[in-house]
Amino acid sequence: MYSKTQSAPIGASAPIGESAPIGTAETAPSRRDILKLSAAGALVLGVVLRGGKSFAEEAPGGGKALLAVPGDTPRPNAFVHIAADDTVTVIVKHLDKGQGVTTGLPTIVAEELDADWSQMRFAFAPADAQLYNNLAFGPVQGTGGSTSVANSWNQLRKAGAAARAMLIAAAVDAWKVPATEVTIEKGVLRHKSGKSARFGELAEAAARQPVPMDVHTKDPKDFRLIGTSFHRIDHIEKTDGTARYALDIRRPGMLTAVMQRPERFGATVKSVDDAAARAVKGVVDVVTVPQGVAVLAENTWAARQGRDALKIAWDDSKAEMRSSAEMLADYRSAAQSQGALALKSGDAEQALKSSGKVVKAEFVFPYLAHAPMEPLNCTVEKAADGSYDFYAGSQFQTIEQAVAAATLGVTPDKVRIHTVWAGGSFGRRATPNGDYFAEAAAIMAKTDGKRPVHLVYTREDDIKGGRYRPMFFHAIEAALDPKGGVAAWKHRLVGQSFMKGTAFEPVMFKGGVDSTAVEGVADMPYAVPNLLVDWHDAPSPVSTLWWRSVGHSHTAQAVEVMIDDLAHAAGQDPVAFRIAMLKDHPRHVGVLKLAAEKAGFGETLPAGRGRGIAVHESFNTFVAMVADVTVKGTAVKVDRLVIAVDCGIAINPDIIRAQMSGGAGYGLGAALRNKITFDKGVVEQANFDSYEPLRMSDMPVVEVHIVPSQEPPTGVGEPGVPPVAPAVSNAVFAATGKRLRSLPFDFDSLGNA
């Protein structure tokens, strides 16, 4: 163990407190922080500015310790800090909500530096899109779409390689030896003469070296850390409880705020009687904001008691008033006509009429809550200069900064976001409108910033609060050709767009179609000569959002179960049938064959047991999954999942295995029982008793096999979700001959004749 004022003996985040070299759990590194490091003789590396001007040139006195190195874009990006104590701190521009980027990203730098893993630290970056934009998102700082490693790969390799070159140059100057004779191993520079130096001893001199504008990164065959499983950088603080999550933030004089939001989406406040609420001991204030009514108190209990005492009249004139059955009836009705065309190849309508056997199927998917273990929360504090500090598990820093600034009536530079650990998200913390930041800012504005405010969602607030994975309906017709191949496929989707009306609409809408609604269908890899895909938007006041794996969370189930249906209709082995249709997609075939081989697909199983397979690509990562199930009447037990994944170069295999297992578990919970339903517009689920998460007893044995690859690394946070439901569905069919298409599975239907 180690104290908060000591350097961690092994890879860890920067310690919390004044000893932290730069921004940590409560204080993200600012430009001022970085300049202080420069003055202290630290080596800090970044990426070249537009026009070649380095960020260092803007620093008072020259700031020569902050250097510019080439990168993928002409924007400044400060990422690597080497301190006198030999620690190497990597500035992580992405939120880590459990997926492991605070280990994965420092690993990339450590590899190119030839650092020892015990030296590595991390700090979350401040909100600064100019410095820390996600290269996959453009001029936006944010985390999502399993892009963290993929967009940082070349950026951090070059920063690490540049730091290495500058350390060697400093050693060359000090020892008067050729650069070719200087080696680095585990954070120590050596020369055959016996001379050696640690990183910290050369950091100041290295900072004065010319910046290498053409760095050479390692050949993958020389990787020492990348591709190796070792402990996560956060494992100590998450074990001993020192990790600081947003819910742990405490500021002097802080009030706790809870919101009373309307029970129906789209409703607004008509009138408020807050007398009883203000009479509750500990309640300090009650304010009405656009999102509802906030109660502020000295503690959470008092705030909740005050909220319970409110008397609010709601205006439901624009609210969602339908029940789930009525919504589904409307979706089915919409599916009777053609929607916006997402893809047309050949003539599916004609081919369906003239081909052989036609298979038809419908799939229904409910609204789903994200339900992260740590509900949404955010702390905001007004500074003496009129600026504001926000503490949160911030996932879309650029959007949240802009929304908070607009709500508070200040410019974005007056809003500082301190990103801290988040206890899960699954997409919920990344909203196009920065919803919970907007609420916190609105409360702060109404209270004139007199005291810091910690806005807290209860579990019920979270589950009833929306931003759900949208409800979807799929209707599919497909036909076989005389040789047993697929001649035609007509696929109609009905579901709500959460991109419409946001800043993402111009990018995400293509030809009038929300690409997230049809992803996994409009771009499916199977060779189908006649393919028609269309989509109907289903507007509703119910707030919706991307959910872990986004559109793939429902399209994989529809496509992979339908493919299985067609394979059986053609009398073919499900694996061979898929391989024949994937002749132009070797990475799909690679994971498919690997999963099938490791699972023993095709073996004869005892009665009541079944084995099913599915393969799906999402976020440029390829995953095949085989599920083993045991069926007894209407009881289904998922016994085993065998997963094969091709995510390019494997940074840390243990993290990949953890994310594949976690994603499969998350998807399995939704497949087994999760759903959000409405009764006259009111959500029927409220907590984990009625929106039950996957239990340990439900979790199958999981095997994960990683395909060796030299392709650039891609994401693993989301791609483990899509294949699990169809793999289980196909396994149940193998065991019973009965199809479970819609989610969550209706196991009672297995008892029907």
Q: Given a cut of 80, is residue 417 above it in pLDDT?
A: yes
> Percent helix, strand, coil in the chain (nearest 5)?
30, 25, 45
What are residue 288's DSSP bridge partners? 293
Element (H, E) at 129: helix 129-132
d(CA 593, CA 605): 19
Average pLDDT over residues 278-298: 98
Threshold 0.75, pTM exceeds: yes
DSSP 636-674: EEEEEEEEEEE-SS-S-HHHHHHHHHHHHHHHHHHHHT-
d(CA 623, CA 628): 17
What is the distance, to the nearest Å, from the Cα of residue 185 to the centroid of all Cα atoms in its chain?
A: 34
Average pLDDT over residues 51-61: 27
DSSP 595-641: HHHHHTTT----TTEEEEEEEEEETTEEEEEEEEEEEETTEEEEEEE
Amino acid at 614: A
What are residue 190's DSSP bridge partners? 183, 196
What's the pLDDT band for 12 if we cut at 50, 70, 90? very low
Residue 76: predicted pLDDT: 32
Contact 609, 513 (CB under 8 A): no
d(CA 500, CA 517): 11
Residue 341: predicted pLDDT: 98
Average pLDDT over residues 630-647: 98
d(CA 520, CA 550): 10
Q: Given a cut of 90, is residue 356 above it in pLDDT?
A: no
Sign of the torsion angle spanned by Cα atoms 36, 42, 48, 52: positive
Contact 78, 45 (CB under 8 A): yes
d(CA 547, CA 550): 5
Residue closest to 631 by CA, chosen among 468, 503, 509, 748: 748
Average pLDDT over residues 115-130: 95
What percentage of the chain reaches a pLDDT higher than 90?
A: 87
What's the pLDDT band for 355 if we cut at 50, 70, 90? confident
Residue 44: predicted pLDDT: 67
Q: What is the mean pLDDT of the chain?
A: 90
Q: Given a cut of 70, is residue 59 above it in pLDDT?
A: no
Q: Given a cut of 60, is residue 185 above it in pLDDT?
A: yes
Residue closest to 605 by CA, chosen among 579, 582, 627: 627
Residue 752: predicted pLDDT: 72
DSSP 416-447: EEEE-B-S--TTTT--TT-HHHHHHHHHHHHT
Residue closest to 174 by CA, chosen among 158, 162, 190: 190
Q: What angle do CA 239, 242, 243 make, to 5 degrees?
A: 85
CB atoms within 10 A of CB 504: 18
- Nearest 10 degrees: Cα torsion 42, 1, 94, 393: -120
d(CA 559, CA 569): 15
Structure tokens at 343: 């893809």
Rounded to 5 degrees, what are φ and ψ at 397?
-55, -40
Residue 78: predicted pLDDT: 82
Rounded to 5 degrees, what are φ and ψ at 717?
-70, -30
Cis peptide before 744 (omega within 30 of 0): yes
What percentage of the chain reaches a pLDDT higher than 70?
A: 90
What's the pLDDT band for 51 if we cut at 50, 70, 90? very low
d(CA 103, CA 657): 14
What's the pLDDT band for 370 if we cut at 50, 70, 90? very high
Contact 750, 633 (CB under 8 A): yes
Residue closest to 118 by CA, chosen among 201, 38, 6, 7: 7
Residue 211: predicted pLDDT: 76
Residue 210: predicted pLDDT: 81
d(CA 19, CA 229): 29
Q: What is the pLDDT of residues 213-249, one digit of tens each?
A: 788 999 999 999 999 999 999 999 999 999 999 999 9
3 state SS of 490: strand
Q: Given a cut of 50, is residue 430 above it in pLDDT?
A: yes
Average pLDDT over residues 527-546: 98
What is the distance, to the nearest Å, from the Cα of residue 641 to the centroid of all Cα atoms in its chain?
A: 22
Q: Given a cut of 70, is residue 738 above it in pLDDT?
A: yes
Residue 300: predicted pLDDT: 97
What's the pLDDT band for 290 if we cut at 50, 70, 90? very high
Q: Given a cut of 60, is residue 77 above it in pLDDT?
A: no
User: CB-based burial of residue 708 (10 Å sphere; 0-12 exposed, 13-18 middle, 19+ buried)?
Assistant: exposed
Q: How many CA atoms lie within 13 A of 326 on its CB side?
A: 9
Residue 8: predicted pLDDT: 35
- Nearest 10 degrees: Cα torsion 735, 739, 743, 747: -60
Amino acid at 135: L
Residue 669: predicted pLDDT: 98
Residue 45: predicted pLDDT: 61
Contact 296, 303 (CB under 8 A): yes
Q: How many CA atoms lie within 13 A of 256 on its CB side?
A: 21
d(CA 544, CA 496): 8
Residue closest to 726 by CA, chosen among 653, 587, 618, 650: 618
Among 56-60, 365-369, 437-441, which is the least confidently predicted range? 56-60
Average pLDDT over residues 360-371: 98
Residue 13: predicted pLDDT: 47
Domains of the chain: 31-240 (3.30.365.10), 247-317+376-456 (3.30.365.10), 324-366+468-751 (3.30.365.10)
Average pLDDT over residues 195-208: 95
What's the pLDDT band for 145 if we cut at 50, 70, 90? very high
Residue 64: predicted pLDDT: 29
Average pLDDT over residues 86-93: 95
Residue 68: predicted pLDDT: 34
Cβ contacts of 611 within 8 Å, gap of 6 or more: 599, 600, 601, 603, 605, 626, 627, 628, 629, 731, 734
Structure tokens at 260: 């009373």
Q: Given a cut of 60, is residue 2 above it in pLDDT?
A: no
